[in-house]
Each structure stands twice: as C-alpha cells, then as structure tokens.
C-alpha cells in the first residue's frame, strides 16, 4: 500500500462530503491535490496542498478551506494531530500504532513490499543497449544497459507489463564492413599473412576467434569465390558471432532482454514499405530539396531532391529524408518501420534508452511515432550522458588505436557486476557520470554501494547474534509481524519505519518519471537512517537491538531490523544488485 495515496483518497472523500454539505462549492477539480511527506519532518508525517489548490476555483481563502478540512481529518483514528500551517498546508501526524502496523505490512509482504498496481498492466516496451553488432560493448553501452534494465524492473514493480527489447542494427553498411573485416581474419586463420588491417576495416582482436571458427566450419570455400558470393553468408556469421559477444557482456552485467529485433528481418518482411505507404496515404510524404544547415555549411553541400517525411508537422525542425539517392531506405526509414512495428505489437508506451550522441535524433523519432500511431502511442527517449572513467581521480586515457581501449567487460571483471550496476545508477541519466575504478572499491561511506551493502550486512550480523542469544525468537517475517511493535517508540526507530514506508511511493514515482536512479538515492537514505539508529545504541544502551531480560522488546526490534533489511533487499533487487549478508 502506498500510504500517501491512501490518505489522498481520504482527503478527497472528505472534500466531496464538504462539497455535498455546502461547505465548499460543488464541482471542484480535485486532480491537482497531492498528499506527500513534508520536506521538514517537524511538520508531521503527511501533508496536503488541497486547500491552496482549491482556493482560487472555490473563491475562498486557503486557510478557510483548510480549517474546515482539518476538523474532519483530525477525527480520523490514525491521526493524532492535524493542523493548518503556512499559506494553507495541512499537516498530519500519525500515531505510533499506525507506524507499527506499517512495519507489519513490510514483514508480511517480504521483498514483494513496494510492488504496486499503478501501472495498470499497460504494455511498455523498453528498448535499450541496441549496440551495433560490430564488436564488444564499451562502458557507455554499459550505462545504457543498466539504466534500461533497472527502469524496466521498476516499471514492472509498479505494475506495468514490460518487454525488454534489443534492436539489432544488422542492415547498414557497417555490417558489410564487419563482414569484410571477418573475411580478412578468416584468411589469416587459414595461414595467410594479412599484414596491417587496412583503413576502414575493424582492426579489433575480437574478430580473430570468429575468423578461426569460420575457417574450422567452412574450410577454404570462401577463398575461391568473389565477395559478392561470400558477403551475405559471412555477414550473418559475423553478426551472430558479435551478438554472442555482446550477449556475453550483458550476461556478465546481469542484463537480459526478452526480445531481439532484427532490422534486416524487418526490412525483408516489408515493414518499411508498409510504414511508407501508411504515411503516403496520409499525405506525409513528398519530394523536396532541403536547405543546408544554417551557419555550418558542409563543404560538399549541393542541393538535391529527396523523398521526405513531413516531420515538421509533428514538432520537428526540418523534414527528414526516408530514401537515399540510390533509392534504398535511410536508417531513419527503417527505424520508423521498427517503431510502427512495436506499436502494432500492442505497445502504447515506448521507452528508448540511447547514448547522448543520438540527441539530435530524438525529435524526429518523436515526430515519427506521432505520425505512425496517430498519436495513440507515446515515446520517451532517455539519453544517457557520457561515463568518465577515472582511476583514483585521474582520467583513464582511451584510444582504440593504441589498444588502451577499455571494454565494459574489463570494468566488470575488475569491480564486479553489483558495483558497476549500482554506480551507474547514482546519477540521473542526463548528467555525466564519473566512474572511478579505485573509488568504487573503497570500503567507506564515500562509496554508496558499500554504504548500502554495509547496512544490510550489519542487520544480518545482529540477526545472527540474536539467533544465539535469543534462540527462542523466530526470525521469519510473518512471525515477527506479530511482535509487540508498539514497543518501538524512539524517534529514530519510528523514523526508520517511516523511511521504509516511502518505498512504495518511490517505486511509483520512479516508474512514472522513468527515473530509476531515484531507487539508488532512496536506498542511500534508508541506509543512513539505519546507521544512525545503530549508533544511537552506542550512546544509549537502552536503544540496542538485543535487550537482555526483555524478550518482548527484542522481538519488536528484530522485527524492525528484519523489515529494514527486507526493504533494502527489495530495492537492491530492482537495481539488479545482490544484497550481501556479510562484509569481507
């Protein structure tokens, strides 16, 4: 249960009654009313802006509405205090018993706590990674992979029906280049001295094993025929080898997709022609000549007639070409067909996670989706900014040519998948991210992964001690839920429960805003509340978790610990990070 939604419905109900009773005018719009935790805890536990939002349309003073409303809210069983504050906020404080019950909710639900229904089963397609199948993944791809994966998870937890998808760009010129590069490695595998890799081909070592595999499978058959004859076959071999490589990298990162969509298959199936005639029928296709970009005219610019899509009718800056001068489709045309295909498969909410270098492409894709789905589907493109790799504060120099190129795999091998994933989510997607290979392995509070994991490990450390000192206390969540939770009365204890109770709301808002990083920040906050409580027990021995001679209180505190550990585990699960029970 998201308790803020719960209280919102109570507030709205009260307002309806006030409206029926003539205390406020009828027919007011309640949609802008929010119920939130106040920023300052001294203002109470929950707060609503209802009076301020309604003041103007009701033609009343905010405080007057608030006074009436607060009288009703004050009567609610769980509310110990309701008062008007500031310009017309209503702040409510909830009883300790209420919070005890919320802890019981957590214990009953286990790691399913936070799972919601706000998504109402809406079908969402999250497309992420979609790295070209021409080589292993780099660190930037890794960020997109983690962001997309965590976003998909948080959407699932919020009740959306999610499909994780990878778009394989296997139709462009770059895969022909890949095929030629592989053919070279294949000749090499058969004993030929190929010398330097020519300019324009992929020089990477990762093609060597693929060349050997091809030589083993097919022998020398591709030496005797012309490129025209070998291109297609070797291309598919190369693509599938590169996809294996990428899938391996993704697996190491704990990322998997439900669907791999092939651009080539889509084109072969006529999807582009279909999308094109759809647009043509709507009068959105014409032949025209584009202006050169203002202020930066390419040297070789010459006007030429092109087949254009009227993207400007849907908010783009210029109309966009769909055909090259040789009559073949542009990448954009294929992409249009692909997005129409997603829509036809039943998705009305499309999310694409791209690298920041695709920023210039967003508007035309948005325009495309609007045109192709008649506005029935929405697309949200999350651009991931660069990852700056550092080693103890110094930038790691990377050059493909010098061979100092850092692959995603080498980073995962060095720091582990859990650390890599968590760090990738400690920034919002549109901010640049510093990834310090030394710092992320540090065991200190500078390091958010460690800080959160340590909280979880500490909790389990106490639980282990408890099972020795208090063998009679069952540590199962359902059992602990029956403890005398009203014995938890210290502000730090209640504060921890309150922080835990925010989790369903975080899930909902992170899903709605498409911002998985909020989960990482939440976990940091939660860990901080826990560490604070822990240390309070150092100064004040009566606040320790294990209380000799008071099994009832110990049971209640173990319940609190179990609950906090459960919420941390639930959050880490969304991020795809495994909680640890012991630090080494």
Q: Does 40 bind RNA (CB under 7 A)?
A: yes
Q: Which is nearer to RNA, 187 or 460 (CB)?
A: 460
- Closest CB 378 distance from RNA, rounded Å: 13
Q: Which of residues 123-142 bind RNA (CB under 7 A)?
A: 132
Q: Which is nearer to RNA, 188 or 249 (CB)?
A: 249
- # binding residues, RNA (CB under 7 A): 106
Q: Which is nearer to RNA, 247 or 531 (CB)?
A: 531
Binding part of the chain for RNA, among 200-208, 235-243, 285-293, 408-416 by CB under 7 A, reads: 285-293
Name beta bridge partners: 90: 48, 84
Q: How many C-alpha atoms does 469 have within 13 Å on its Cβ side?
A: 16
Binding part of the chain for RNA, among 188-196, 225-233, 269-277, 527-535 by CB under 7 A, reads: 527-535
Binding part of the chain for RNA, among 70-78, 235-243, 369-377, 514-522 by CB under 7 A, reads: 514-522
Q: Which is nearer to RNA, 216 or 326 (CB)?
A: 326
Site string for RNA, 430-469 (x = CB under 7 A): xxxxx--------xxxx---xx--x--xx--xx--x----
By CB under 7 A, name the one of 339, 427, 487, 555 that touches RNA: 427
505 alpha carbon, distance to own chain's centre:
16
Site string for RNA, 242-271 (x = CB under 7 A): ---------------------x--------
Beta strands in 2-45 (DSSP E): 35-36
Site string for RNA, 47-66 (x = CB under 7 A): x-x--xx-xx-----x----
Q: Which is nearer to RNA, 45 or 156 (CB)?
A: 45
To the nearest 10°, the Cα dihedral for 504, 506, 508, 512? 180
By CB under 7 A, name the one of 30, 38, 63, 161 that touches RNA: 38
SS3 label, residue 124: strand
Q: Which is nearer to RNA, 29 or 196 (CB)?
A: 29
Task: Dump the DSSP string for 185-250.
Answer: HHHHHTT----SPPTTS---TTHHHHHHHHHHHHTTGGGSS-HHHHHHHHHHHHHHHHHHHHHHHH
SS3 label, residue 428: coil
Tell me which residue has tokens 């909410």: 349
User: How is the chain split among helix, strand and coil, in percent rounded to 5?
Assistant: 55, 15, 35
- Closest CB 434 distance from RNA, rounded Å: 6
Q: Does 77 bind RNA (CB under 7 A)?
A: no
Q: Does 484 bind RNA (CB under 7 A)?
A: no
- Closest CB 143 distance from RNA, rounded Å: 13
Q: Which is nearer to RNA, 165 or 188 (CB)?
A: 165
By CB under 7 A, name the one of 251, 358, 400, 482 that touches RNA: 358
Q: Which is nearer to RNA, 215 or 322 (CB)?
A: 322
Q: Which of residues 153-212 bind RNA (CB under 7 A)?
A: 169, 171-174
By CB under 7 A, name the one of 383, 390, 406, 441 that touches RNA: 383
**Helices marked H in 21-172:** 50-58, 62-74, 96-109, 139-157
By CB under 7 A, name the one of 101, 344, 544, 578 that touches RNA: 544
Nearest to 314 by CA among 362, 371, 359: 371
Residue 392's contacts (CB-CB under 8 Å, 6 or more residues apart) are: 436, 437, 438, 439
- Closest CB 582 distance from RNA, rounded Å: 5
Q: Which is nearer to RNA, 161 or 177 (CB)?
A: 177
By CB under 7 A, name the one of 342, 487, 498, 505 that touches RNA: 505
Residue 14's contacts (CB-CB under 8 Å, 6 or more residues apart) are: 69, 72, 73
Q: Which of residues 385-424 bind RNA (CB under 7 A)?
A: 385-386
Residue 440: Cβ within 10 Å count: 22
Q: Which is nearer to RNA, 334 or 570 (CB)?
A: 334
Q: How many C-alpha atoms does 578 have within 13 Å on its Cβ side?
A: 9
* Cross-sheet strand order for the sheet of 79-85: 35-36, 46-48, 89-94, 79-85
- Closest CB 326 distance from RNA, rounded Å: 6
In degrees, to the nearest 5, what angle opens at C-alpha 128 toward C-alphas 367 and 278?
35
Q: Which is nearer to RNA, 183 or 517 (CB)?
A: 517
Q: Does 294 bind RNA (CB under 7 A)?
A: yes
Q: Does 39 bind RNA (CB under 7 A)?
A: yes
- Closest CB 461 distance from RNA, rounded Å: 4
Q: Which of residues 295-354 bind RNA (CB under 7 A)?
A: 295-296, 298, 300-304, 306, 317, 321, 323-326, 328, 330-332
Q: Which of residues 97-116 bind RNA (CB under 7 A)?
A: none
SS3 label, residue 411: helix
Q: How far is CA 306 from CA 52, 365, 410, in A?
A: 55, 19, 45
Task: Dump the DSSP string for 482-536.
Answer: TS-GGG--SHHHHHHHHHHHTHHHHHHHHHHHT-THHHHHHHHHHHHHHHHHHHH
To the nearest 10°, the Cα dihedral for 334, 338, 343, 348? -100
Q: Which is nearer to RNA, 190 or 362 (CB)?
A: 362
């Amino acid at each position: 249960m998201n308790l803020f939604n719960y209280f919102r419905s109570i507030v709205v109900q009260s307002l309806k009654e006030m409206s029926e009773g003539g205390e406020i005018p009828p027919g007011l719009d309640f949609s802008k009313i929010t119920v939130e935790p106040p920023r300052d805890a001294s203002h109470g536990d929950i707060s609503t802006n209802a009076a301020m939002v309604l003041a103007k349309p009701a033609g009343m003073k905010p405080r007057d509405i608030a006074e009436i409303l607060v009288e009703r809210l004050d009567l609610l069983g769980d509310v110990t205090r309701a008062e008007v504050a500031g310009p017309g906020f209503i702040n409510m404080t909830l009883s300790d018993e209420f919070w005890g019950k919320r802890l019981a909710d957590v214990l009953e639900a286990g790691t399913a706590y936070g799972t919601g229904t706000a998504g109402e089963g809406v079908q969402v397609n999250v497309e992420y990674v979609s790295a070209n199948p021409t080589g292993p993944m780099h660190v930037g791809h890794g960020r997109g992979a983690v962001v997309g994966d965590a976003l998909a998870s948080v959407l699932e937890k919020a009740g959306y029906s999610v499909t994780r998808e990878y778009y394989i760009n296997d139709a462009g010129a770059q895969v022909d280049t890949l095929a030629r590069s592989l053919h070279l490695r294949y000749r090499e595998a058969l004993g030929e001295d190929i010398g330097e890799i020519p300019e324009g081909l992929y020089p990477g070592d990762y093609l060597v094993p693929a060349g050997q595999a091809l030589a083993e499978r097919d022998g020398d058959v591709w030496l005797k025929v012309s490129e025209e004859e070998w291109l297609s076959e070797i291309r598919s071999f190369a693509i599938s080898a590169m996809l294996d490589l990428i899938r391996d990298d993704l697996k190491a990162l704990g990322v998997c997709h439900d669907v791999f969509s092939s651009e080539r298959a889509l084109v072969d199936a006529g999807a582009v022609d279909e999308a094109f005639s759809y647009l043509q029928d709507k009068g959105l296709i014409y032949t025209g000549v584009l202006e050169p970009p203002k202020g930066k005219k390419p040297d070789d610019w010459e006007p030429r007639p092109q087949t254009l899509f009227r993207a400007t009718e849907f908010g783009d800056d210029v109309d966009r070409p769909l055909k090259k001068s040789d009559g073949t489709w542009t990448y954009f045309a294929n992409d249009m067909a692909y997005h129409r295909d997603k829509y036809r498969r039943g998705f009305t909410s499309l999310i694409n996670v791209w690298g920041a270098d695709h920023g210039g492409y967003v508007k035309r894709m948005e325009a495309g989706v609007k045109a192709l789905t008649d506005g029935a589907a929405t697309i949200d493109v999350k651009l991931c900014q660069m990852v700056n790799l550092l080693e103890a504060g110094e930038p790691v120099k990377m050059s493909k040519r010098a061979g100092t190129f850092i692959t995603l795999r080498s980073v995962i091998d060095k720091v582990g998948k859990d650390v890599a994933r968590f760090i990738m989510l400690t920034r919002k997607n549109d901010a640049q991210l510093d990834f310090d290979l030394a710092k992320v392995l540090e065991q200190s509070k500078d390091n958010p992964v460690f800080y959160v994991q340590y909280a979880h490990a500490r909790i389990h450390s106490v639980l282990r001690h408890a099972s020795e000192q208090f063998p009679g206390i069952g540590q199962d969540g359902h059992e602990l839920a029956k403890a005398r939770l009203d014995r938890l009365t210290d502000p730090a204890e209640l504060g921890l429960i309150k922080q835990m109770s925010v989790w369903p709301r975080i899930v909902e808002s992170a899903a709605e805003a498409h911002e998985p990083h909020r989960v990482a920040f939440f976990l940091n906050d939660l860990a901080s509340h826990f560490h604070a409580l822990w240390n309070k027990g150092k100064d004040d021995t009566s606040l320790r978790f294990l209380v000799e001679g008071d099994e009832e209180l110990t049971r209640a505190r173990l319940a609190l610990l179990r609950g906090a550990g459960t919420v941390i585990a639930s959050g880490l699960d969304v991020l795809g990070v495994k909680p640890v029970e012991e630090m080494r």
